[in-house]
Amino acid sequence: MTPGSGLRRARWRPAGLVPRTLRARLTAGLLVLLVATCAAVGFATTAALRHFLVDRLDQQLAESGGRYAASLEHTGRGAGPDTRAQTPGTLGVRLLGGRVTAAGVVDGDADDADEPGGDDDRVTFTAEQQHALAALPVDGPARSLDLGRTLGHYRVRAVTGRDGDVLVSGLPLRPAEDTVDRLETLELTVFAIAATAAGAAGAAWVGFSLRPLRRVVGIAERVGALPLASGEVMLAERVPDDDPRTEVGRVGAALNRMLGHVGDALARRHAVEERLRAFAADASHELRTPVAAVRGHAELALRHPGPVPAGVRHSLERIDAETLRMGAIVEDLLLLARLDAGRPLAEEEVDLTRIALDAVADARAAGPEHRWRLALAEEPVLVSGDEHRLSQVVANLLANARTHTPPGTEALLRLERVGGQAELSITDDGPGIAPELVDRVFERFVRGDRARSRATGSTGLGLAIVLAVARAHGGAVAVESRPGRTVFTVRLP
């Protein structure tokens, strides 16, 4: 492809002139075929009529035998008794030695014809016209000749005279041309009306024929609007037109089969999700008791009044720390299981401004090496929801900023009311999130630290809880990240 060829194609095929829909293309195709057919018919009929009329003129010239031109030869005047039998407009020319000696045109005026010396029929020719007349083949076929603005186009034929001269007879082409012009005008009018009527009827018929296809599109659009990412999905939609004898029927049957397969796959996926959620909920519930027991025994051993070897004390301290961490994971899993099950949260008036103040204060205490800033609206921002869970959302976002950014990073918590919604955002100037993780940060057990070291203390559930709690309140969460700027935004109604 040469440079700029794409631009040339764009110029030659403007987007506004190319039909895009199937209905428009079919209608345009029908109109193009109809116009091409009408043009071919019009061209053929006008050509046939023109040929027929010219043949009639040639026949009349042959039958006249040059009588009018012969009268010019004998009388030397432009009128004579033979003009009575000639068609008005008949041309007669006498040539001698290549020069015009007499010429006349029958004008249909009987008074002039009765006068022997009447010369109203006399005509003169330019040198160029005389040369053209002299160049006519004697006793040959008739030809068309342009005799200037006064006489116009003529069909002329030359014959040999009795005195060694050449007699030229001609008939005007204007009547034939006028007849052809009237036919062309009539055909253009009829064809324009026919094309307009056919276009309207064709568009209606094509629209009627494509109704089954529109039903298929409607089914596909409704299925495409369903939330297929998670949860139980009922694909009850089916295309009614599935006649395999038609193209649309085959498309409908294929779509119905595809919907059946997709519905089965979604049902199996939902069943697996339900089993996994039930397992996570049951396992978390069952783990609470043994984890609490292990932690209790570790704390009891650490409080033993007697001497405890240093190695044993270190092990007991590690047991206590890990059981505490495991307990937090179990509580997070139980919370997610309850939210997945759709259990209702508390409904009370919550002051997000107070939650933001307390969360930033806790973040300063937990991460003094970071720079924490707070930007609040002038008036308190109140929402309806579960205060404990909303506090957990803010705390998890601040903990995420503290855990995944280096010391010295500035983090700003902004709370404001935007368009009838409470908008809480946390912005940091840290290194940002890896591009391949931006779309997955709210999934469970997704962590930026792939080594899963205990240094960060991250379980990969904090942001998943943020998303689940926000959705349970009818809100949404978004993230934007690039090196030097990461923004988590929570919007609540």
What domains sit in the chain, N to C, each tagged with a CATH number? Answer: 65-172 (no CATH), 228-343 (1.10.287.130), 348-492 (3.30.565.10)
Asked if the model's pLDDT at residue 184 lies above 60, the reply is yes
Q: What is the predicted pLDDT for the residue at 480?
A: 92
Percent of the chain at pLDDT exceeding 70: 86
Q: Find, among 114, 98, 102, 96, the residue nearest to 69 by Cα.
A: 102
pTM of the model: 0.50
In which band, very low, low, confident or very high, does the pLDDT at 457 lie, cut at 50, 70 and 90? low
pLDDT score recorded for residue 74: 57
Residues 92-137 pLDDT 10s: 888 888 888 888 888 766 544 444 444 446 788 888 888 888 888 9
Nearest CA to 331 among 270, 425, 383, 396? 396
Q: What is the pLDDT of residue 370?
A: 93
Cα–chain-centroid distance for residue 361?
Answer: 53
Which structure tokens are listed for 137?
Answer: 């083949």
Which residues make Cβ contacts (< 8 Å) with residue 326, sequence separation at least 6? 287, 291
- Locate 62 and state its tokens: 């042959």
Using CA atoms, how far apart are residues 382 and 18, in angstroms rounded to an integer?
Answer: 54
Tokens of 160: 């040999």
**Least confident segment among 161-175, 242-256, 414-428:** 242-256
Tokens of 150: 């006064």
- Asked which of 129-133, 187-191, 281-285, 333-337 is least confident by mean pLDDT, the reply is 281-285
Q: Note the pLDDT tens digit of each residue in 39-70.
A: 999 999 999 999 999 999 988 888 877 778 77
Q: Are 102 and 119 a contacting pair, CB within 8 Å? A: no
8 A C-beta contact, residue 465 and residue 482: no
Rg, Å, the chain Cα set: 50
In the structure, what pLDDT confidence band is assigned to residue 14 with cuts at 50, 70 and 90? Answer: low
Position 78 scores a pLDDT of 43
CA distance 66 to 102: 14
